[in-house]
Amino acid sequence: MNSNFIPIRHINGSPLTEEQQKFLDGFFAGLTAHGVTFGDVEAAPVEEKKVSLDDLIFEERVKRELHPLDAYEQIVENAVGNKAPDKEEVFRFKWNGLFFLSPNKEAFMSRLRIPGGLLKTFQLRELAKIAKELTSGYVQITTRANLQMRLIQPRDCPEFLQRVQNVGLHTRGAGADNIRNLTANPTAGIDPHELMDVMPLCNELAHIIINDRSFYDLPRKFNIAFDGGGLIGTVEDTNDIGAKAVKIGDEIFFRIALGGATGHKAFARDLGVLVKPAELNKVIVALVRVYIANGNRGDRKKARLKHLLETWSLEKYLDETEKILGGKLQRAPADLKVEYGDAKLPHSHIGIFPQKQKGLNYIGVAMPVGQITPKQMLRIAEIAELYGSGEIRLTVWQNFIIPNVPDAYVETVKKALRKTGFDTQQSLLRGGLIACTGNSFCKFAQSNTKGHALELADYLDKKITLDAPVNIHLTGCPNSCAQHYMGDIGLLGTKVRGEDGYHVFIGGGFGANQAVGRQIFSGVSVDDLKTTLEKMLKGYLRRRATGETFQKFTARHDLNTLQAVFTNEE
Ligand code: SRM
Ligand code: SF4
């Protein structure tokens, strides 16, 4: 080959040396001998693997036939005739946060997205009006510090969505194969115990997600939580990605844990890296992209990140993430001493707490199992505006707090809340009571979780006074939306001789007390449940060591001993 035809004549602006020229002569002569030209040396276009839609499982097929975010027109069209969605639309409309509740109810539930659970009062006010005018008026705070409203007719869906968006909120990606509502400490930025205010990071990621369509086609649901330390946690270790601030010397880093899904008895596992706050969202995005590319799309039961991590080691996952990032992340030495900023309350945080801003307080308000009426929402908006800073924050404990209340207004706020039907004081038992939606609306529910939770609390409050918190989580089915495996006492709905009942678990916990609850009783009817729990709590109070928590007490006994203690048959 004549070197005049070598297509490269300079490298970095310098003419080729004799040696370089000889090498290229040989290289291109070889190509010519094989009938290949320089143009052919470019990477061959990636041939897209053609998969027939018929080969896909239902959910993947529905997503490929029409991207669910492009189904909005159908929502509008269905509204015209107040038409119920067909099977495909039921799945697709979840991308707009609309869940059709058939066969329980022939109407939609809508789940919002409220990053970090932070709501401004003008938003709360409009949501209250929307709830009153377009829904049955049933509003609930969810276990992801979020709101759900329900019994929306197809004809009202477009107006519902428009009005939610008009106040700067949205519902996109609230259900199905998406990154769900991002959670952060509800006291971020105001808690004297926190290491870092994570709300800006949470908001930044929320906007990255909104603006990138590739985050709306995951293999399955996906949870992300930010924890900056402080009194009220985010149970970040129950999320697919939990980012937790730590202090090393004077510097703040994040540790990242992967693969939490407590319904599958899995807590997130530490990835072994330290990430600077400014890098955190870039790393989270890369972690999510690895899941998007490699999660199981053929079997919904094995599709969560936790399942990928059963076939991949954490090292492999990290390796794939670093390929996307184009560099190595800082490793956390095994013997690293870190400060966690954990002055965590074991459960909710009802009452008055001083903020890091001198003279200001946040007020934790008790909401029985997360239910609230539009009228109460309007009044809370008014209180937060008059005496706070015009915002409220929802918690994963199905409660809310009003931040930034000056010392002088605390008593007034307490009184105003009481008049509205809310307390700022409650028993230690009620403070840690969480219940999923239950059978009034959820087709999976075996029991009326919220109703039974309230009955239980009323009964037990009369019989027992606890001096240490005991969390009780009621879940209507194994999906575990109220995370029964991480409660001190977990109640899992079931049918007992055709009637509502529960399996009873004990000893679950999260964070520093991380543990999966153990089943102690099965098939307890609702009638027997109150006395069962009464005996359990009395047995604990009778037999515990000084200062011992319920979880620690149960952890040091085997199930047989505990059954004897809890049934008074020792
Ligand atoms: Fe959940 C499905 C309610 C948090 C695990 N969940 C459902 C559905 C949509 C049932 C359905 O598919 O028709 C429920 C809607 C009932 C209704 O009408 O309200 C429902 N989940 C809820 C809420 C409202 C419970 C509550 O009362 O607070 C929570 C809404 C959170 C939010 O605002 O985004 C809720 N669900 C959770 C959690 C906790 C969490 O995410 O932090 C979990 C367990 C943790 C986890 O990692 O999965 C959870 N929900 C499930 C599952 C099981 C997923 C799995 O991988 O096994 C399903 C069923 C599914 O996805 O197929 C499910
Ligand atoms: Fe419905 Fe089951 Fe979730 Fe309760 S745990 S809301 S019953 S899916």
Q: Which of 482, 492, 180 is nearest to 305 (CA)?
A: 180
How far, in Å, is the centroid of ligand 2 from the Cα of 302? 19
Which residue, of 426, 452, 483, is where some domain finishes?
A: 426
Residue with CA closest to ligand 1 atom 44: 481
For residue 523, pLDDT over 60 is answered with yes
**Total residues belonging to the chain:** 570
In a domain? residue 400: yes
Model confidence band, residue 349 (pLDDT cutoffs 50, 70, 90): confident
How many Å apart are CA 104 and CA 102, to the nearest integer?
Answer: 5
Quote the number of domains for the chain.
5
- Residue 41: what pLDDT? 46
In a domain? residue 435: yes
- Taking the model in full, what pTM does it have? 0.91
Cβ of 99 closer than 6 Å to ligand 1, yes or no, is yes
Contact between 501 and 526 (Cβ < 8 Å): yes
- Residue 436: what pLDDT? 97
Domain housing 409: 351-426
In a domain? residue 357: yes
Cβ of 484 closer than 6 Å to ligand 1, yes or no, is no
User: pLDDT by residue (tens digit) across 165-200?
Assistant: 999 999 999 999 999 999 999 999 999 999 999 999
Model confidence band, residue 282 (pLDDT cutoffs 50, 70, 90): very high
Q: Is 166 exposed, middle or buried (CB count within 10 Å of its CB: 0-12, 13-18, 19+)?
A: exposed
Q: Are residues 452 and 553 in the same domain?
A: yes
Cβ of 263 closer than 6 Å to ligand 1, yes or no, is yes
Q: Are residues 479 and 367 in the same domain?
A: no
Q: At 127, which helix (H) or strand (E)?
A: helix 121-134
Average pLDDT for residues 4-20, to the nearest whole number?
A: 66
In a domain? residue 288: yes
Q: Is 383 exposed, middle or buried (CB count within 10 Å of its CB: 0-12, 13-18, 19+)?
A: buried
- Residue 30: what pLDDT? 61
How many Å apart are CA 167 and CA 162, to the nearest integer?
Answer: 9
Q: Which of 504, 491, 508, 512 is nearest to 551 (CA)?
A: 508
Contact between 227 and 233 (Cβ < 8 Å): yes
Model confidence band, residue 336 (pLDDT cutoffs 50, 70, 90): confident
Cβ of 144 closer than 6 Å to ligand 1, yes or no, is yes
Q: Are residues 155 and 263 in the same domain?
A: no
For residue 468, pLDDT over 90 is answered with no
Contact between 507 and 551 (Cβ < 8 Å): yes
Q: Are residues 336 and 208 in the same domain?
A: yes
Cβ of 481 closer than 6 Å to ligand 1, yes or no, is yes
Q: Which two tokens stand for residue 91?
A: 């799945």
User: pLDDT by residue (tens digit) across 83-114?
Assistant: 999 999 999 999 999 999 999 999 999 999 99
- Residue 394: what pLDDT? 96
How many Å apart are CA 470 and CA 261, to the nearest integer?
Answer: 22
Cα-trace Rg, the chain = 27
Contact between 399 and 146 (Cβ < 8 Å): no
Full strand arrangement of the beta sheet holding 98-100: 98-100, 108-111, 147-152, 139-141, 371-372
Which of 437, 480, 492 has the most ligand 2 atoms within 8 A of CB, as the residue to mutate?
437
Q: Are residues 385 and 474 in the same domain?
A: no
- Residue 108: what pLDDT? 98
User: pLDDT by residue (tens digit) across 416-426?
Assistant: 999 999 999 88
Among all bound ligands, the one having the nearest atom to the CA of 435 is 1
Average pLDDT for residues 388-417, to the nearest whole number?
A: 97
How many Å apart are CA 87 and CA 441, to the nearest integer?
Answer: 19
